Amino acid sequence: MREKFIVIIFSFLAFALVAMLSSSCTKDKCEEVYSYTVLEPVYLTYGEFRSGAVAEGPRPLENIGKVAYKNRYLFANEINQGIHVIDNRDPNSPVPIAFLAVPGSMDLGIKGNTLYADSFTDLVTFNVGDPYNCDYLSRVEDVFPKRDYSFIPDYKLEAPLDQTLGVILEFIESERVAVLPCDSTPHQADIDWEPWVVDDWLEELGTISADDEWQPAFLSGSSKKFSIVDDYLFAVDEGYLTSYRIFNPMNISKIDSTFVDWGLSSIQPYHRNNVNYLFAGSGSNTFFYEVRSTADLHNIGKTRSFTGCDNVIADDNRAYVTSRNFGSDACSSVDPQLQIFQIDTLHLPQPVSSTFMTNPVGLGIDGNQLFVCDEDDGLHIFDVSNPIINQMSENRLPNVTGSDVRLFEIDGSKLVLVIGRDGLYQYDYTSTANIELLSIIHTQPD
């Protein structure tokens, strides 16, 4: 009996010792708290976005992309939301008069009285013959490919993206917290996340507001998703240029698709000697097409790209190109600069001169006056009567931060509209020696 009692005592003591040691280990356990962010998609069903193209009353401008001009009216894209209609008959006092709600819109074009705009994967049209009474006309589904979000790392998403649920209107950044042992590996989003990489791309897609960090990388120049030539519309569809007959906006019909190159990202129309051309840029190459009757595309050659990574405009003799470093994409090795090419032979452009700039984007030309937006370095105005850049005279508006320009004329006055960081700036440049600010429509961020 005494031996049994001793065994029980020793068993109790052993159990107590193990419990005490276990408790001590628990108390001494090292833990750390890690915080990280994830991206949560906001879906819009296909039914919702396809029923959303309507004309409404005016809205405040918030995040302006491209701007078209017609008969003294401005049509300004509100990225991913729609198009502002602005009465600009008095450029000293422009007045927003309407808003065309077009979910997913990032590009627009006007032919006659018809405005064309993308709406995620679709093409929509409005009659803008009377800008005070714009009417929705038609929609063609699946003209443009679905947006590609493969650049977003899986660890930034709590669940795989499912575009069968609809289109993605935006991404919301949400903070998460993880409690992990001190010697463990932190959440991958905490150690590998490089926000500037994805944010640049999200900015390009127009899915995150540009209020905090303005990134106009693809708002200008060669970023067109479609171009209108005569009675035809040419759309970038992955590696293809797809043509549509738009003579009757109520009966838009697909004609043909021409394979250009995988990675095709932009098209630019060009007209010379009564012949229409398209520059199609794929990042590393530019393909030149002559547009013949019935939208037939004739390939006349290619050269190393000055549209896939660059913004470009051209007159009868020269192409003017701005290149910038996009950081995270295929154009990361491009030096920020302005270049001039002689294009007597389209598919063999000959470099004439170049100059380094800070971060040039959109540009426009009027005769010998070349306007170049250089982001925070201001708006440059070059005299290109002599194309050797180091001999060109230059005027600069240092306090104008713009992504693109539009040039037009009203009552004999030459005007330049600058799409800026915080609004639309309108200048009279009739005398480039005395450029006058006429008006500003300020954006009002959320």
- What does the pLDDT read at residue 314? 87
Choices 2.40.128, 1.10.8, 1.10.10, 1.10.287: CATH for 40-192: 2.40.128
For residue 7, what pLDDT band results from cuts at 50, 70 and 90?
A: very low
Structural Rg of the chain based on CA atoms:
28
- pLDDT (tens digit, 9 = 90+) per residue, 69-79? 999 999 999 98
Sheet holding 337-342, edge to edge: 310-314, 318-323, 337-342, 350-356
Question: If residue 24 lies in a helix (H) or strand (E), which one and from where to where?
Answer: helix 2-28
- What does the pLDDT read at residue 184? 62
- What does the pLDDT read at residue 287? 87
Cβ-based neighbours of 419, under 8 Å, separated by 6 or more? 64, 65, 66, 67, 76, 216, 219, 220, 362, 402, 403, 404, 405, 406
- What does the pLDDT read at residue 267? 86
- What does the pLDDT read at residue 307? 66
Question: Which residue type occupies 250?
Answer: M
Select, from the ranges 98-102, 340-344, 350-354, the one with the highest average predicted confidence (pLDDT): 98-102
Q: Which of 68-77, 216-225, 233-242 has the lowest mean pLDDT?
A: 216-225
Strand, helix or coil for residue 415: strand
- What does the pLDDT read at residue 248? 94
- pLDDT (tens digit, 9 = 90+) per residue, 421-437? 889 999 999 998 889 99
- pLDDT (tens digit, 9 = 90+) per residue, 158-185? 888 998 999 998 888 888 877 767 766 5
Strand, helix or coil for residue 136: strand
Residue found by looking up tokens 């995620």 in the block: 120
- Do 255 and 234 contact (CB within 8 A), yes or no? no
- Do 435 and 425 contact (CB within 8 A), yes or no? no
Q: Quick check: 336 pLDDT over 90?
A: no
Distance CA 271, CA 400 (A): 30
Where are the domains positioned within the chain? 40-192
Q: Look at the alpha carbons of 443, 151, 227, 127 in this order and tell me if their dihedral is positive or negative.
A: negative
- What does the pLDDT read at residue 214? 32
The rounded Cα 230 to chain-centroid distance in angstroms is 25
- What does the pLDDT read at residue 361? 85
